[in-house]
Structure 1
Amino acid sequence: MDGGWNPTGCSRLVLLLFLNVHIGQVLITHAGSPVTVLGTDCTQISKINPGATSGLHTIKPEGIKKDFKVYCEMRLDGCWTVFQRRTGGAVSFQRNWAAYKAGFGKREADHWLGLWKLWAITKGEKWVLRVELCDFEGGTVYAEYRGFNVGSVKDNFKLSVGDYSGTAGDGIHGTLRESSQNSYGFTTKDRDHDGCTPCIADDIATDNCSLEKGKGGWWYSNCGSASLNGEWHPAGKNPGGGSGLHWHRWKGTSPYSYRATRMMIKPL
């Protein structure tokens, strides 16, 4: 993983256009003047430019005035837009609401793309969310959720996911109905939307799960079974039940903080 992920190229798509392409942009001559066309996500970039490879690309979701850069993972199973990556402790995820809304880190390395950008990409249609986890023993697993999208800021960037498939276990829906993180808003250490009044996290009563789970932002509900934005811990250092990079279903009930994670989306 970073390099630890080993992407493969997307299948090439034939376009009946003569295109001049640069990082997901197309220049099309219209009435003698070139017009720049940007992809709305990584999948559309691959259609505009069939030879596009994994890396930084510029996108402009529909209805958004300003374009921005994302990391695209071009694979045989689709062209994925990465919105979270963790490979170590160099980038702190112990951030406030404003930082999680805007995004932080470097797109080509450890980063959080930003809740506003994630909403801009996913609004109006359903997506597939893919979560990838790496442990310290060389194991890798994944979880996929159909029907993913994120609500607007008025809905506190509420998480919506559908059916689960994969090898990591269903960390988002969790083992108990009351711990499901589906349909909950995003919570940070300074903005609480987890519904706890209070909740019991690691035998401690808390009104804000972020404060008990490493101060990272997440879609908490009753603190829940997943939290991948907590404090990064080295091998063997797993204080508490979910203070680190936590996905309860893979490693069972024992505390375990993962070595690396990645979250990405593609159109359903």
Structure 2
Amino acid sequence: MNTKVPLLVLVTLAALSVSSAHGLKSFKIFKDCDDVLKTGHNESGQYLLWTSEKKTLKVHCEHGLNASTVLILQRKFGDISFTRSWAEYQVGFGVSSRDYWAGLETIYKLTNFQGYNVLTFYMQDWLGNNRNVRYSYFHVTDYSQGYRLSVSGYSGSVPDDFSYNNGMPFATFDVGDQKNCAKNQKAGWWFNYCTYTLPTGHYYNGGPYTPSGGFCDGIFWQDWNTYKCAYSLKYLSMVLSTS
């Protein structure tokens, strides 16, 4: 198993001042996404939070009627590839209004310092069926431990296919796992011989697909329907909340 993880390249806020401002809904700095909503900023989008580390963190706040969550992954259009390197999964990629990955370092900070430890999956298939899955505890370690996953407290309208990944470090094609799942399934994820769900898989239009080389590489939730992993969902998002 390749356990060597590249060191995180820390960049100062000053160096990020121009790029961080891009796409922000406000130049104010907030405590959390609920604070954003309570102060009258009703539009979902990217905002700056002030962390317990006394640093700013750029996140996408998704506003509901009475609360706000943080979007960490969205699959919606299939216009970008999720076959990415460790470095890309670490810092994040995409556009939060379209297809998007917030970044492992952001997820680490949210789950360790900001109290965002409740994870919800929102999913839709190509027939318009919507299902949600919630985990009351979600946490990842820092980069030195491979952003190892802890998840528990399942509830939902489709069987639990994510707890199987509990305890696993994140893997990509260049920082691999024991079974080469990341390379074979062409995505970064918390693989465990390999996985029963792949939100970071390839976006296949229409639902059913033929697994590439015998490996399921679509956006699947194994127990969604009788196609098992050979059915790619139309929409999937992962959001974090504090309760």
Please give the TM-score of this superposition, normalised by the length of structure 1.
0.74
TM-aligned CA distance change 1:56 to 1:238, over 3 Å: same
CA contact (8 A) 2:125 2:207 kept: no
Amino acid at match of 2:135: Y
Picking from 188, 209, 229, the partner of 2:181 is 209
Which has the bigger relative contact order, CA under 8 A and spacing at least 6?
2
Superposed CA deviations along residues 217-255 of structure 1, whole A, max 9, x for unmatched, are 111111121111011111145122631101112224532
May I ask how many residue pairs the two structures share in their alignment? Answer: 215
Query: 1:51 Cα deviation (Å)?
Result: 4.6
Which residue matches 1:260? 235
Query: 1:264 Cα deviation (Å)?
Result: 0.6
Query: 1:212 Cα deviation (Å)?
Result: 2.1
Which residue matches 2:21? none
Higher percent of residues as helix? 2
CA contact (8 A) 1:189 1:210 kept: yes
Task: Say yes or no: does 1:168 pair with 2:122.
Answer: no
Distance 1:145 1:78 in 2: 17
TM-aligned CA distance change 1:249 to 1:236, over 3 Å: closer
CA contact (8 A) 2:90 2:103 kept: yes
Superposed CA deviations along residues 23-56 of structure 1, whole A, max 9, x for unmatched, are 4665xxxxxxxxxxx2243123234x14533222
Amino acid at match of 1:43: D
Query: 1:64 Cα deviation (Å)?
Result: 5.2
Amino acid at match of 1:209: C
State the SS of the aligned residue for 1:117: helix
TM-align CA RMSD: 2.0
Task: Say yes or no: does 1:82 pair with 2:54.
Answer: no
Distance 1:90 1:188 in 2: 20
CA contact (8 A) 1:41 1:81 kept: no
Distance 2:128 2:72 in 1: 23
CA contact (8 A) 2:116 2:240 kept: no
Task: Say yes or no: does 1:187 pair with 2:171.
Answer: yes
Picking from 82, 86, 91, the partner of 1:97 is 86
TM-aligned CA distance change 1:218 to 1:209, over 3 Å: same
State the SS of the aligned residue for 1:162: strand
Q: Which runs of 5+ in 2 are unaligned?
A: 1-23
Q: Would you identify which runs of 4 or more consecutive aligned residues in structure 1 move more than 3 Å?
A: 22-26
